[in-house]
Structure 1
Amino acid sequence: MAVLTASHMATSTSTVISVRDLKRSYQLGEQEFQALRGVSFDIQQGEFTAIVGPSGSGKSTLMNILGLLDSASSGQYLLDGQDVTGLGETERARVRNQKVGFVFQAFFLLPRLTVLENLEVPLIYAKAPPAQRRKRATELLERVGLADKAQHRPTQLSGGQKQRVAIARALITRPSLLLADEPTGALDTRTGEEIMGLFHELHHEGATVILITHEPDIAAHASRTLRVRDGLLEEV
């Protein structure tokens, strides 16, 4: 196990994520807390990477920055070759919608919409035509094995089915990066393994997947594991 340095990192035209000396600090009263203390790594197109670490290690802060939900205090972050380090919130939201697909433990499906309509939401923000939205959503529901649930409401689905819908929604804009935060945390073991099987399929089809988890058995599904500890990154 070694702390990552620049010598560990390959340069490639297929680099999806390139992070250099990323730092993030927060002001807590009169004290400054350093959540990230100089993180550097690359992730290539098609990699399946797990980021692990205990609560308070900095992994959630790192996930929020990678997903453009937060900004670094200093350092550089290139996503798909674009420097997104200093973008304002409006521009971050635009890039996030185009390039990052999120899968969360809590699913975050809209209960008043049908399954098909839930999938269409990111394409509405992207101003895609209705026919294109419906076609893409239908294709992805078939891909995750839920074509027969298109007109169901989320409350009519099991936990595993909800997560499959969430994964399909994450893929709807053909993002460069699929970011999954504890995607099996709300599922039983058997259903969790089924969801991880779907992530494996997506990885084999060429998706770039980053899995955030504190569970070693879930992290073991990835082909590469990075550990965040005290705001620093180690490769396992």
Structure 2
Amino acid sequence: MIKVEDLRKTYRAGLVEVPALRGVSFEVERGEYVAIVGPSGSGKSTLMHLLGCLDVPSGGRYMLDGVEVSTLGEDELARVRNRKIGFVFQGFHLLPRLTALENVELPLVYRGVDANTRREKAVRALEMVGLGARVQHYPNELSGGEQQRVAIARAMVGEPILLLADEPTGNLDSRTGAEVLDLFQRINDAGCTVVMVTHDMTAASRAKRLLKIRDGVLEGDERV
């Protein structure tokens, strides 16, 4: 489902070119659960942004679900993000003036889904993450773990084929983090491909495959 060939990304700092990825290649099959691990500055977050179509590579190819997304324009990339990919971030990224339900509805609003349908889907997504009784609460009325659950519901409400998680337990205590990882396991068991970036090896150990990145190079690919 994911095919990356010689993927490269270089940033400019003034007149200096800073390589973040130096020719990364790998494939991920549909239904896999993969953790991308590496030290700070290794290039793992850059890789996540490229996989999520939040940025474009400087070179190489990226195929997602049979489409070479590395050649798409901004509007086409936005459609891929909205229809094929769900995102979960360390910082939750919930809108504070919207309820949990309204936050989860947002991806469907952007798709043009009618109000009744998107509300039904959002309620089901919140029930899936155990927050059926909290749909009308605002983010500041929820714990960190509950906010992350809302973020997961928002990521999954559009039934993506790929869930990308960037340090999803980074702001959570160990118990709450474990509960979030349990949710990822359930999502993966239901057939969704999960790719998680983390520096936490306890979190990474939940995945079935580890991609190890250092200095912008893939230096390890282990199945566990």
TM-score, with length taken from structure 1:
0.92
**Counterparts of 1:31 and 1:163, CA distance in 2:** 38
- Residue 30 of structure 1, CA deviation: 2.2
Please list the CA deviations of residues 26-67 of structure 1 after superposition, one character each: whole Å capped at 9, or x if unmatched. Answer: 122222111111111111111000001111111111011000
| Cross-structure match for 1:235 | 221
**Counterparts of 1:191 and 1:197, CA distance in 2:** 10
| Cross-structure match for 2:115 | 130
| Cross-structure match for 1:103 | 88
Letter of the 1:79 counterpart:
L
SS of aligned partner of 2:133: helix
SS of aligned partner of 2:8: strand
Alignment of 1:104-183 (within 5 A): 104-183=89-168
How many positions carry a matched residue from both structures?
221
1:84 aligns with 2:90: no
SS of aligned partner of 2:186: helix
| Cross-structure match for 2:39 | 54
**Counterparts of 2:92 and 2:16, CA distance in 1:** 35
Letter of the 1:87 counterpart:
L
Please, which runs of 5 or more residues in structure 1 have no aligned partner? 1-15
- Residue 90 of structure 1, CA deviation: 1.9
- Residue 160 of structure 1, CA deviation: 0.8
Over 6 Å off, 4+ runs: none
**Counterparts of 1:235 and 1:190, CA distance in 2:** 28
Please list the CA deviations of residues 155-214 of structure 1 after superposition, one character each: whole Å capped at 9, or x if unmatched. Answer: 111111111110000001111100000001000011101111111111111111001001
Letter of the 1:93 counterpart:
A
| Cross-structure match for 1:206 | 191
CA RMSD after TM alignment: 0.9
- Residue 71 of structure 1, CA deviation: 0.4
Please, which runs of 5 or more residues in structure 2 have no aligned partner? none
**Counterparts of 1:198 and 1:23, CA distance in 2:** 32
**Counterparts of 2:111 and 2:5, CA distance in 1:** 30
SS of aligned partner of 1:211: strand
**Counterparts of 1:229 and 1:93, CA distance in 2:** 29
Match of 1:70 among 55, 69, 73: 55
Letter of the 1:86 counterpart:
T
What's the % identity of the aligned pairs? 56
**Counterparts of 1:157 and 1:181, CA distance in 2:** 21
**Counterparts of 1:90 and 1:55, CA distance in 2:** 31
**Counterparts of 2:116 and 2:3, CA distance in 1:** 36
TM-score, with length taken from structure 2:
0.96
